[in-house]
Amino acid sequence: MVPRRWYYSEMVVGGVRDAKRLLVRPAELLVRVSLSWLDVGTTRLINPNRLLGSWTLSFDMIGLKGTLNVIDNSGALLVECVNVLKQKVNNGWGSVGDEIVCVVKRARPLTAVQAASATALKVRRGDVRRALIVRTKKAVRRPDGRFVRFDDNAAVLLNNKREMLGTRIGGIVSADLRLKGWGKIVSLAPKAL
């Protein structure tokens, strides 16, 4: 059996070089290469003698150490992804509608009245929580051929029963959430795009 190695694929589109790191066997050098940020791909042969060496790699979606804004009223402002929880394929990257395990990096400060309240959601900096990705900067292709992308990566915090920690959502979410079984989050959002 031939061992797997890391190879690099490169494509220059509009003066911007797009490099991706791929784990393939030398016999499997026919790979899909991204042509642009729209993720319209083509298949081409990579020459193993032309490796790119130490390039900054561009990956898709949300991965380890990716930061997301929290758009609900749970108390957290910014979270960092630790793990992507997927049912079917666990490739380490999360998209809209995927659950992640995250660490709260920035949270709203609690007042003395809120801290004394037993019903207050006490989300503090350093807490490990579950979250749902509701929008991404990476363009997502719709079945009709359109591509939808947002200005930032955002998430909503969940509890262990897969219910929202907050009671309101303060921003636009992707309409793809309804197809993935998160209709309640779409209905609470001011707009779904």
Q: pLDDT for 7-51, tens place per residue? A: 444 444 444 444 455 444 444 433 344 434 434 444 444 444 443
Whether 92 and 16 map to the same domain: the answer is: no
Residue 112 within any structural domain of the chain:
yes
pLDDT values of the chain reduced to their tens digit, one per residue, 193 residues: 545 554 444 444 444 444 455 444 444 433 344 434 434 444 444 444 443 433 333 345 788 899 999 999 998 999 999 999 876 666 778 899 999 999 999 998 877 777 776 555 678 899 999 999 999 999 988 889 999 999 999 999 999 999 999 999 999 999 999 999 999 999 999 999 9
What contacts 54, CB < 8 A, 6 or more positions away?
none
Q: Cα dihedral sign for 162, 82, 190, 141? A: negative
Residue 169 within any structural domain of the chain:
yes
Contact call for residues 123 and 73 (beta carbons, < 8 A): no
Whether 115 and 173 map to the same domain: the answer is: yes
Average pLDDT, the chain: 75
pTM: 0.66
Round the CA-based radius of gyration of the chain to a whole number and report it.
20
Whether 94 and 129 map to the same domain: the answer is: yes
Residue 54 within any structural domain of the chain:
no
The residue range of the domain holding 23 is 5-45
